[in-house]
Structures are given as structure tokens and as C-alpha cells.
Structure 1
């Protein structure tokens, strides 16, 4: 009589199991900057406030 789970079931579960995905901190930083730029482009409130400049100070040289 066969008992479950059999060895083949354990091997199949180990092989077919999804791999653990670890988050790369550099990728997270890139995504955070991307979202912040999108927020600034769309005019919605960003997750962290952008620095404000007085109107008399030119932003570009």
C-alpha cells in the first residue's frame, strides 16, 4: 500500500515550487524616484513633499 505523500510527490513539489523573489534595494530606489517624478509631472501630491522655491529665484541657469 502506498502512503502519501510519496517521494515523487515531494520532489515534484520542490521542483515546481515558485522561487523566492528577493527585492533589490537599488531597484526599489529607482521605482521610488520614478513614482515621485510621476507625481510631480501630474501635479498630484507626492508621497514626500518636494522643496519649494520662491518665485523670484530662477530654477535654471
Structure 2
């Protein structure tokens, strides 16, 4: 559950940058959004592996 909480924190943390990129066209904010999305991808994959492991252990 810890990784899921981290995923939620990363997602909520990029809202301002996403708004700056899409609404104001701020390229630097777009770079930060791309990095955060990569972090989300990694976290999501780790969560998937954890869930699969727990399911298999039962």
C-alpha cells in the first residue's frame, strides 16, 4: 500500500505543472510532467508485480 500512496502523491504533485504546460505552454513544466509520468510508470509496474506476488502466495 506504501507504493500506491507514493503513486498518488506523485500524481497530485504534477497537477500544477500539467496545468502550466497545457494552459500556458510552459515547456519546462512539460519536461517535469514527462519525468513524473515516467516515475508513475515505474511505480505502477512495481505495484503490479506486488499484486501478482500477493495473489500467487495465496
TM-score over 0.5 for the pair: no
TM bin (shorter chain): 0.3 to 0.5
Higher normalized contact order (CA 8 Å, seq sep 6+, divided by chain length): 2
Greater Cα radius of gyration, structure 1 or 2: 1
Structure with the larger helix share: 2
TM-score by length of 2: 0.33
TM-score by length of 1: 0.32
